[in-house]
Amino acid sequence: MQLAGPGVFGPPKDRDVALAVLREAVALGVNHIDTSDYYGPHVTNQLIREALHPYPDDLVIVTKVGALEAFYPAEAYHQDYLTLHPNQPYIAYNDLPKVENLKKLFADNYIEKPTLVNASKATN
């Protein structure tokens, strides 16, 4: 389902319908929502919180920090780069604000140490 506006930018055409779709999906048993702060941008995560907070215990919300064309595993010295280099200018300016926003939006369910899923090989 697409919650953001046309081309995944901006707010949805009908905010009330988007909120109702989220609530109905969870009521029908959907317990996994894959989202990104990129969609909107900033729109979908806010809609999810508005529609579903407080979150059901079995609801899993996963998110991506930014858009990628493909995923390529980083070299060993890049693993946990944000944690190891929080003051690096790119991290401080681009990534930390996104992480802080996720902490606020999903405070009850935020996991401090993220887990990479299916990162064993490059994908397109």
Task: Just list the catalytic residues.
Answer: 39
In sequence order, what are the beta bridge partners of 36? 64
Q: In 3-state terms, the chain is what percent helix, strand and coil (to 5)?
A: 40, 10, 50
| The two three-digit tokens of residue 28, written as one number | 């029908």
- Other beta carbons within 10 angstroms of residue 19's beta carbon come to 17
Q: What sign results for the dihedral spanned by CA atoms 15, 95, 75, 117?
A: negative
